[in-house]
Amino acid sequence: MKFGKEYASEMVPEWQEAYMDYNNLKTFLKQIQWIKQRNKQAAAAAAATGQPAGLTRALTLYRAFSGLIQRQNQNHPAISDVESSVLVNSVNNNGSQRYYETTFLMATTEDGGEYEQEFFKRIDNEFNKVDKFYRSKVQEVMAEADTLSKQMDALIAFRLKALAFDQQQLLLDSCSTPDDHQQQPGASDRIIFEDETYEKQEEESIIPARLDILNHVKIHKTLGGTPYSIIKGFVNSPNQNKQMTFNNDNLKKVEKQLRRAFIQFYHKITLLKSYSFLNTLAFSKIMKKYDKITSRRESKSYMNMVDNSYLGSSDELTKLMERVEAAFIKHFTNSNRRKGMNILRPKANKKQTHIVSFFTGLLAGCTVALILALILIIRARDLLNKEGKNQYMENMFPLYSLFAFTVLHVLIYAGNIYFWKRYRVNYPFIFGFKQGTELGYMDVLLVSFGIAALALTSVLMNLDMEMDPRTHDYKALTELLPLGLVLLVIVIMICPLNILYRSSRFFVLSCLFHCICAPLYKVTLQDFFLADQLTSQVQAFRSLEFYICYYGWGDYKLRQNTCKTNDVYNTFYIIVAVVPYWSRFLQCLRRLYEEKDRMQGYNAVKYLMAIIAISSRSVYSLYMGMGWKIVAGLSSAIAAIYSTYWDLVVDWGLLQRHSKNRWLRDKLLVPYKTVYFAAMVLNVLLRFAWLQTVLDIELSFLHKETVITIFASLEILRRGIWNFFRYSFIFN
């Protein structure tokens, strides 16, 4: 891999603008090379025609003489600096920030010299940018280290107080009340210092343990973000600031929070060291290219300046990293260095990666084979012409379409991950995944193909079109296969054993619970991301409702559908379609209240209009009537136009008239502009897929349930495209 691509792949996405612009400098050097080649050709042509070439000859002698002096005096830096064609100066600006400037001595004595002078001006600007950013980040890290040190001191004090509290508990009689010793559920803990003048005396460790710090520590409770804490806060607000006790339960929570803070802090230091190394290497590479193109030897002189700068010579991060490692190993892993370093520097399990790749390929092959087998069986048994075809499509197809929607959405999410990673979008950071637990696209593909293989196997086992002539019903075992598969997926999702991506499963369940309880939880990015995905799974929610009706009322025994004749089912048919939009609407209101951002109010209006539109379409699909058709058409058109504008302008940052990329945005993540225009056109077309409901579009060669499934899949596809551009825009 060429250095340019490797350099780009190793960048921290959030800091992309702060890296040295290697490609720009490389392009400028190519221009210098072309100019020099053109000048050589002109000089050769002049010599062939007998024109005077005195100046060229003089410069040639000067270059030869200079080179000779440098070769003979390699051990005398003073002489080499005098004869060098490049002079490096450091300039102080107000004594606080050091700027570096390179003067090219031969700019006026050699053809093309002014371009080389421009090159050094550009590389100086890039270096000063990198050095300034690195200084600011190091200062930021050192300030965080001081805060983390104080918190660690407080944690040690907390441990001592918790130990003392446990000893006191053994001496307490039955008169003590539980409220004196229990934490208020849902409250978040915060360690603070009452005496800000307390001075620490750091020795070898980042966190000295002193008993007198106990007099400077208190634990204060703040209102948490859980439903219980919020409701109790409204009912009994005077007790919100009640002091917490130093018991073991609270200690474990504080230790967990500080442990996570240490890991994140160490990761930040690692990224900053990588930033320093990559940029130093980039300057070295670009200067070697300069030497090769101009036949000079100035990379050593310039890199001496880089090595002596703050970027190349500062060792603060190295020392800080060693102290963080020592503190973490001592206080969180009981002095077990191997365990501590495995936590701080998690390594990818190559064996596990190979296993995932193997089973992904195996299940993908099984999925393709099962699809082919299904097609061949349908044609061989001529099932499309059987009398029970319509009965099967109306009852069994909606059951299995749930798995089709799920698999399609998961496949598209795997594609999102692949392209996010390809275009260096830091999706683990965006969604707040715990380091080392985020799923790659191969892991997600493994899940999707696993579900697809199970669902297709169930379909093949349940292709009976005719009932048993003796019992006049269908086989109960095969009819229960879809329900059994749904229950299996649910059991796997809630399985507490550390198998099948437990961390990711619980992460999804936690976000799902927050969506259900909106607006009682503080809205985070991962919560409203999941809520947005659920708004594209309306038909999947209706399939779940059909499961309850079909199996709960015993219709599966006769493969008949009496659900749609029931008013309760029809009412919930509308409600389940509105639930994900309602959850998203409440999340926007919560953010509007907390963040005071008017855009959240406008976003809430978008989801409110979607609720009205989908409700009117649902009523029309159930009861028909010209009045409902007009209401459904108007409300859906307004909602679709508003949502389309929001997608393109607000979420994607496109349609910018004064952008340097006409109708796009200034900085494009994907280098191909046609991709953005194609995505905009597709978004508009798929946003109006609801026309199928209002216009009663029917295809003679497809069953009605198949048409509904196709249009629902188009919405899932639109959501996948939206995901990529929406979350790529965050760091763009």
Q: What is the pLDDT of residues 497-550, one digit of tens each?
A: 988 899 999 999 999 999 999 899 889 999 999 999 999 999 999 999 999 999
Q: Which residues pair with 92 in a beta bridge?
A: 98
pLDDT of 184 over the 50 cut: no
- Longest Cα separation, the chain: 114
**Pairwise CA distance, residues 259 & 409, whole Å:** 35
**Pairwise CA distance, residues 533 & 585, whole Å:** 14
The separation between CA 485 and the C-alpha centre of its own chain, rounded to angstroms, equals 31
Binning pLDDT at 50, 70 and 90, where does residue 83 land? very low
| pLDDT, greater one: 560 or 580 | 580
For residues 612 and 585, the answer to whether their CB atoms sit within 8 Å is: no
C-alpha atoms less than 13 angstroms from C-alpha of 727 in its C-beta half-sphere = 26
The token duo for 725 is 């551009």
For residues 82 and 69, the answer to whether their CB atoms sit within 8 Å is: no
Pairing of strands 217-222, 188-193: antiparallel
**Gyration radius of the chain's alpha carbons:** 34
C-alpha atoms less than 13 angstroms from C-alpha of 496 in its C-beta half-sphere = 0
Instruction: Sketch the domain layout of the chain as residue ranges.
Output: 350-731
Determine the residue type at 458: S
Pairing of strands 97-104, 86-93: antiparallel
**Pairwise CA distance, residues 457 & 481, whole Å:** 10
pLDDT given for residue 80 in this prediction: 37
**Pairwise CA distance, residues 574 & 640, whole Å:** 19
Name residue, tokens 């008017």: 598
The token duo for 499 is 């198998």
Nearest to 385 by CA among 328, 466, 288, 295: 466
Three-state DSSP state, 334: coil
Q: Which of 74-83, 159-168, 222-231 has the lowest mean pLDDT?
A: 74-83
DSSP-H helix ranges across 103-241 = 113-169, 227-235
Nearest to 610 by CA among 637, 592, 590: 637
pLDDT given for residue 207 in this prediction: 40
Helix 567-595, helix 525-534: angle, nearest 10: 150
Q: Which H or E element spans position 637?
A: helix 626-645
DSSP secondary structure of 419-461: HHHHTT--HHHHHTPPTTT---HHHHHHHHHHHHHHHHHHHHH
Q: Beta-carbon neighbour count of residue 701 at 10 Å? A: 5
Tens of pLDDT, residue by residue over 430-469, are 888 877 788 999 999 999 999 999 999 999 988 877 666 6
For residues 141 and 272, the answer to whether their CB atoms sit within 8 Å is: yes
pLDDT given for residue 195 in this prediction: 38
pLDDT given for residue 90 in this prediction: 63
Residue 71, burial from CB neighbour count under 10 angstroms (0-12, 13-18, 19+): exposed
Tens of pLDDT, residue by residue over 112-139, are 677 888 888 899 999 999 999 999 999 9
Q: Which H or E element spans position 597?
A: none
Q: Beta-carbon neighbour count of residue 195 at 10 Å? A: 10
In sequence order, the 6+-apart residues with CB closer than 8 A to the CB of 46 are: 53, 56
The token duo for 233 is 């806060």
**Pairwise CA distance, residues 531 & 534, whole Å:** 5
**Pairwise CA distance, residues 499 & 505, whole Å:** 10
What backbone phi and psi angles, to 5 degrees, belong to 217? Answer: -120, 135
**Pairwise CA distance, residues 371 & 457, whole Å:** 9
Percent of the chain at pLDDT above 70?
A: 79
Name residue, tokens 């919930």: 572
pTM of the predicted structure, to 2 decimals: 0.73
Binning pLDDT at 50, 70 and 90, where does residue 218 land? low
Section 414-424 average pLDDT = 91
Three-state DSSP state, 699: coil
**Pairwise CA distance, residues 367 & 459, whole Å:** 12
pLDDT of 162 over the 60 cut: yes
For residues 412 and 550, the answer to whether their CB atoms sit within 8 Å is: no
For residues 515 and 527, the answer to whether their CB atoms sit within 8 Å is: yes
pLDDT given for residue 199 in this prediction: 39
Three-state DSSP state, 728: helix
**CA separation (Å) from 308 to 89, 211, 292, 709?**
12, 43, 24, 65
Section 389-397 average pLDDT = 87
Count of residues in the chain = 732
Q: Which H or E element spans position 628?
A: helix 626-645
Q: Which of 213-217, 273-277, 297-301, 727-731 has the lowest mean pLDDT?
A: 213-217
pLDDT of 52 over the 70 cut: no
Section 610-638 average pLDDT = 91
DSSP secondary structure of 35-56: HHHHHHHHHHHHHHTT---HHH
